[in-house]
Structure 1
Amino acid sequence: MSILLLSVSHHTAPMSTVSALSLTADETMKLCHGIAATDHVDEVAVLSTCNRTEVYARVDRFHAGLDEVTAALAAAGGGDLGSLQQHCAVYFDEGAVAHAFAVAAGLDSMVVGESQILGQFRTALAIGQQAGTVGTSLNALFQQGIRVGKRVQTETEIGAAGRSLVTSAYEVVTETGGGLEGRRVLVIGAGSMASLAARTAAAHGARVVAVNRTHERARHLTASIEGATAVPWSHRRAALAEADVVVACTGAKGLVLDAADLAGTPVTHVVDLALPRDVDPAVDSMLQLITLETLAARADHEDPAGVGAARQLVATEVADFLASRRAAQVAPTVVALRSMASDVVGAELQRLDGRLPELGEAERAEIARTVRRVVDKLLHHPTVRVQEFAADQQVDYAAALRDLFALDPQSVAAVMSAPGSPGRSAEDPQ
């Protein structure tokens, strides 16, 4: 298994580039299909959030696979290939595993330790499975990543803090305009981010109103939030006229708020958590506009409690996963060795039949069982030990086993190239 990971995020690119690559679920599935149809990729999953788009691919050639993935992602974003190459990070195999687990744990997020990424990680896996582009390799990677993310959220201080882009944005509002208690918060949108914004505001004592183009979705969002109300999209201007704080996160492709919408309203803070933007940047000249760029700059100066313990947990999980994978990668050699031994036993028993045709069926069967027991006992220790030693990255014990027993390279290759085999690997990226 060789995993190639191409990442464009707030760490590597301006938010305008990240925004251009933000994909809907349908666009994500289309990209999965497109990449899986290329020559050097046989598994693919795409993670797309408000601050990152990442392609996870199983490849049989590093450079060729990277070219195919980069070209497909650039086309999906409608951008220039050269520009994308300047604003992405590339991880391969063990580095890809480490990065994937850090992402699932929220350690690579704009707000370190935020928990929403875990749900987005699950969604990426689900879309890949629905598209039919996730096989055994990526499924194992994502399932283990989800497990790691859960452990960080439940076992570390950083996970218990309940951090998110929403809480970070409200912290800015509180620092510059006082707390949310008793204030009127208008949430525009009805997705997961809008739901989190509404619930968090209500938990801080705010009076919440939700508005969405589909009124039923806004009503559903507020149904379980005490005191919250939903208004139709046609009444949004009236809602703005009564709001103190506005949170926009619709996922629309165009702006939903501009300076004219806010002129003459009591609104003091507008939080734009959408990608692409929901709010015209010109609004910033009228009142405080808090955007993803605002939160990214703020995050650069944060060092949340518990991050060290979380990183150590992730590092341990990465080491365990890689050790298990290396142990699995010797399986083709072990299978080939046992297959060779079985062929040798079969040939010798056939020769015995020719030399001693007078042997009865009972004697012949007993001899066959005895020979197979002897071979099994001779092979048991080396095959068990080679799997135990596989975690050692300094010595290729599987190669040593192949040399010692003069295994046919083609027989090993046949096992390694079987669909889903953990032994498949790509060319050296160097």
Structure 2
Amino acid sequence: MHYLTVSFSHKNSTIEIREKLTYPNEKSVNGCLTKLNSSDEINETILISTCNRMEIFCSCSDIVAAKEHVFNMLSERAGISIEELQERADVYDDSTAIHHLFSVASALDSIVIGETQIAGQLKDAFRFSYDKGHCDKKIARAVKSAFKCAAKVRNMTDISSKPVSVASVAVSKLKSVLDDIEGKKTLVIGVGEMSEITAKHMISHGADVYIMNRTKQKAQILADEVGAKVYDYGQLDKAVNEFEILYTATSSNTPIITDDMIKLCNYQRFWFDLAVPRDISCSYTGMIQLFTVDDLKSIVEENKGIKEGEARKAHGIVGRSVVEFFEWLDALNVEPMIKDIYKKAYKTAEIESKRAINNGYLPKEYEVQAKKMAEQTLKRFLHDMTSKMREVSTEPKSDSISGVMQMLANSENDSIPDKYKNMEKK
């Protein structure tokens, strides 16, 4: 069994590429996971799709074949050649895949180091996949350990002492280009976590905030929670030419604001498109400053510099957590094997003790004692062997040793491909 991650993120792909690779709703995510698991080599999968990344994390039996299946599927969906996708993607397998997963969960791979949203996004991605039957124990173990690692990073470093997010960085960017936010009319489109954070930040700076959403009831709930007002979605055409400040973060597959809606205004407008795919398609270069998530990198770089020392500590925690995970995984794998060995030994003791009775080697009344003596003999014989198996389960070559023991025991819990079993019969 292997772990594999194929990652497209703000580090290796433009927003245009990420748009083509995005899976914006549950139906598309479910379809993607179904196609991925249709491969004979892939058995469990989760998909992480956010404004900054699209990542496939899977458990597979053959890394090369699994990668080929992933790239073929993504190429077909995005209309991008396999060669370009392979050139852009960051691909991790086994220990590096787990290291990357732990880093993502700990917000060390985010566009904003230490941001608070990614843990929730990863949890949602795992829960969706698990509930739909696309992943099980293999990925569950890895994700659960990733969350434990993230908790250690939060508790043992100050990397998240001042929680930040793409939304808060967007507000900081606005403050850098606009002297005074107080009293400015601000429209926030969408009701997700990004919109909630944005609205709270703008209200804390004295802005006059309105919430807009296709479902007015949801807009009202968020508005009541943060102390904002509601603006009817049906008046979006009017709103884009009325508000000085606009933030949008919806899950729409297509732009909700286009050139035909935009009119000339005699005041400067500041628009922040925090969605992927983007919500705004604007070629108008008049008095509108448009920022996307990829335009916020200058502030992000400052944030990285401030937290550089804490990030180093966090990376050390991640590294140790990865080692601990594989030690635990190896120990976990050896226990069912040891259990099977003892079951086979006790079955043998039962057979031989009955044979001794049936052949008249021992009186019938000694059958129970004979069985116990045979079991105890085998147990004593196996004790040193199984103790050694537990000891070496944390060593680098433990997978080879485990493989040999699985082959000898022919365990029903093993991970050996069927084509390699019972080869002596061929």
Q: Distance in 1 between matches of 2:80 and 2:183?
A: 45
Matched residue type, 1:337: I
Q: Distance in 2 between matches of 1:372 and 1:398?
A: 29
Over 3 Å counting, the alpha-carbon distance change for 1:112 and 1:265 in structure 2 is farther
Find out whether 1:321 has 2:321 as its counterpart: no
**1:38 counterpart SS class:** coil
Which of 375, 398, 408 pairs up with 1:372? 375
TM-score, scaled to structure 1 = 0.87
1:110-136 Cα distance to aligned partner (Å, 9 max, x none): 111111111110111122123211111
Find out whether 1:390 has 2:388 as its counterpart: no
1:59-100 Cα distance to aligned partner (Å, 9 max, x none): 111111111122122223343322222211111111111111
Over 3 Å counting, the alpha-carbon distance change for 1:132 and 1:222 in structure 2 is same
Matched residue type, 1:90: V
Aligned to 1:5: 5
- Structure 1 residue 239, shift from structure 2 partner: 4.2
Over 3 Å counting, the alpha-carbon distance change for 1:99 and 1:232 in structure 2 is same
**2:346 counterpart SS class:** helix
Find out whether 1:353 has 2:357 as its counterpart: yes
Q: Distance in 2 between matches of 1:222 and 1:344?
A: 71
TM-score, scaled to structure 2 = 0.88
Aligned to 1:152: 153
- Structure 1 residue 413, shift from structure 2 partner: 5.6
Verify the 8 A CA contact 2:3 2:94 in the aligned structure 1.
Answer: yes
Aligned to 1:161: 162
Over 3 Å counting, the alpha-carbon distance change for 1:151 and 1:60 in structure 2 is same
Aligned to 1:60: 61
Aligned counterparts, 1:269-288, within 5 A: 269-283=270-284, 285-288=286-289
Q: Distance in 1 between matches of 2:99 and 2:306?
A: 21
Q: Distance in 2 between matches of 1:296 and 1:251?
A: 22
Q: Distance in 2 between matches of 1:294 and 1:4?
A: 30
Aligned to 2:334: 330
Q: Distance in 2 between matches of 1:386 and 1:125?
A: 33
**1:107 counterpart SS class:** coil
Q: Distance in 2 between matches of 1:371 and 1:53?
A: 58
Find out whether 1:132 has 2:136 as its counterpart: no
- Structure 1 residue 49, shift from structure 2 partner: 0.6
In terms of mean alpha carbon deviation, does 282-291 or 311-320 score higher? 282-291
In terms of mean alpha carbon deviation, does 36-45 or 276-285 score higher? 276-285
The ranges of structure 1 where at least 4 consecutive aligned residues each deviate by more than 4 angstroms after the TM superposition are 237-242
1:342-399 Cα distance to aligned partner (Å, 9 max, x none): 34423432342244355142x2212321331232233234323422331121x43862
Q: Distance in 2 between matches of 1:414 and 1:366?
A: 30
Find out whether 1:171 has 2:169 as its counterpart: no
Aligned to 2:305: 303
Q: Distance in 1 between matches of 2:183 and 2:118?
A: 30
Structure 1 residues without counterparts, runs of 5 or longer: 425-430
Aligned to 2:423: none
RMSD of equivalent CA atoms: 2.7
Aligned to 1:428: none
Q: Distance in 2 between matches of 1:22 and 1:400?
A: 40
Verify the 8 A CA contact 1:154 1:160 in the aligned structure 2.
Answer: no
**1:157 counterpart SS class:** coil
- Structure 1 residue 333, shift from structure 2 partner: 4.0
Over 3 Å counting, the alpha-carbon distance change for 1:398 and 1:74 in structure 2 is closer
- Structure 1 residue 39, shift from structure 2 partner: 1.8
Verify the 8 A CA contact 2:189 2:249 in the aligned structure 1.
Answer: yes
For these two proteins, the number of residue pairs brought into alignment is: 413
Aligned to 1:427: none
- Structure 1 residue 298, shift from structure 2 partner: 4.4
Q: Distance in 1 between matches of 2:89 and 2:334?
A: 33
Verify the 8 A CA contact 1:240 1:265 in the aligned structure 2.
Answer: no
Verify the 8 A CA contact 2:330 2:399 in the aligned structure 1.
Answer: no
Over 3 Å counting, the alpha-carbon distance change for 1:418 and 1:126 in structure 2 is farther
- Structure 1 residue 187, shift from structure 2 partner: 0.6
**1:330 counterpart SS class:** helix
Over 3 Å counting, the alpha-carbon distance change for 1:151 and 1:76 in structure 2 is farther
Aligned to 1:93: 94
**1:159 counterpart SS class:** coil
Q: Distance in 2 between matches of 1:345 and 1:66?
A: 47
Q: Distance in 1 between matches of 2:319 and 2:119?
A: 17
Find out whether 1:22 has 2:25 as its counterpart: no
Q: Distance in 2 between matches of 1:397 and 1:320?
A: 15
Q: Distance in 1 between matches of 2:245 and 2:268?
A: 6
Matched residue type, 2:316: Q
Aligned identity (percent) is: 23
Q: Distance in 1 between matches of 2:189 and 2:346?
A: 68
Q: Distance in 1 between matches of 2:216 and 2:51?
A: 24
Find out whether 1:252 has 2:252 as its counterpart: yes
Verify the 8 A CA contact 1:332 1:412 in the aligned structure 2.
Answer: no
